Structures are given as structure tokens and as C-alpha cells.
Homo-oligomer: A and B are copies of this chain.
């Protein structure tokens, strides 16, 4: 399986990130791919590139409430199963406040196992942060999301053979 820039950009919406990942592939295994993704994200993607990655979440992960909070698709179940209309409305309102009134980029959270009320609490806790502090938090969340997306990319391209090394092969091919 050959991964292209469009595969990498689905993991992290920065075009610089995708270009650099495409340059340095193949990877020995998923761990190496994640290590490299971390190195590229923190040391090679610049500030406009970070904002580009954050903006991609407007297109990738939009809730049915039209809020722009992003989470990995497979993680939505927990949050949505616990969400009522009021909770979704609150999330949408606080997200609007976060982006339009405070930081200028979409609220990101890697929502693994979090309920909608836990996400709302997290959002409310962040909104008083200073700009540079929150940029660091958002960049960390993006890195967590990238890690999950990379794992998904590999598992989707792994034959269900039971061979633990298949994912390694899929990256090398």
C-alpha cells in the first residue's frame, strides 16, 4: 500500500505536514510514523501551517448541530450518546465564543471516551487561557488526533490476517 499526500493530509490538515510525511516515508512501523509525525508537527510546520491544520477540522468533523468542535468520527458515539439538544446548543455557543471572540481558531479536542458535558467543561476551562497557552494546548490536541488518524490509516490498509506485522508491511509497500 502506497500512501500519498492526500492520505497524510487526512491525518493532519497541514499541507506542509503532508508534504514532509510523503518525503520521509516509508516507515518501519506505526510507532516510527507517529514519531516522525510528532517531529514534523513541532519542528517543521509553521504557525500558518498550524492554523491551516486547525481549519481543516471545520470540514472534517462537524457535529449535526453545526458546531465546529472536532473529534475523530469513531469517538463521536460516546459524546453524542450522552448529549441532549441543550448540551449540543451549549457546545455550539461556547465554541463560537472560543473561536470568534477569543482565539481565532476552532476548538479542538481529541474526544476519546469523553461525554459532551466533559467536553463542554474542558472548553469552558480553556477559554480563559492566554493566547499562547491555548495555541500550545490546541497543537497538543491536534497531535493526539493525528496519532489516532495515523493508526486508523494503517489499520484500514491492513489485511485481517492476524499477522501483527501486517501493518508494518502496509507502510513499507
- 8 Å CB interface, A77-109 against B: 102-105
The answer to whether A56 has its CB under 8 Å from any CB of chain B is no
Q: How far is the CB of A164 from chain B (nearest CB, A)?
A: 36
> Is A51 part of the binding interface, using a Cβ–Cβ cutoff of 8 Å?
yes
Interface residue total, chain A, C-beta cutoff 8 A: 17
A49 within 8 Å of B by Cβ? yes
The 8 A-B pairs with the shortest beta carbon distances in the complex, nearest first, are A46-B104, A48-B104, A47-B104, A46-B103, A132-B136, A132-B132, A47-B135, A47-B105
Partner of A48, one of B46, B49, B51, B139: B51
In A43-60, the 8 Å CB interface with B consists of 46-51
State the copy count for this chain.
2
Complex Cα gap A49–B101 (Å): 12
Q: 20 other contacts beyond A47-B104, A47-B105, with CB at 8 A cut-off?
A: A42-B130, A42-B131, A46-B102, A46-B103, A46-B104, A46-B131, A47-B47, A47-B51, A47-B103, A47-B131, A48-B51, A48-B104, A49-B104, A50-B131, A51-B51, A132-B132, A132-B135, A132-B136, A132-B139, A135-B135
Residues 104-132 of chain A, each 1 if its beta carbon lies under 8 Å from chain B, else 0? 11000000000000000000000000111
Q: How far does the alpha carbon of A47 sit from the alpha carbon of B42 in the complex, in Å?
A: 17
- Label chain A's interface by main secondary structure: helix
In the assembled complex, the Cα of A47 lies from the Cα of B47 at a distance in Å of: 9
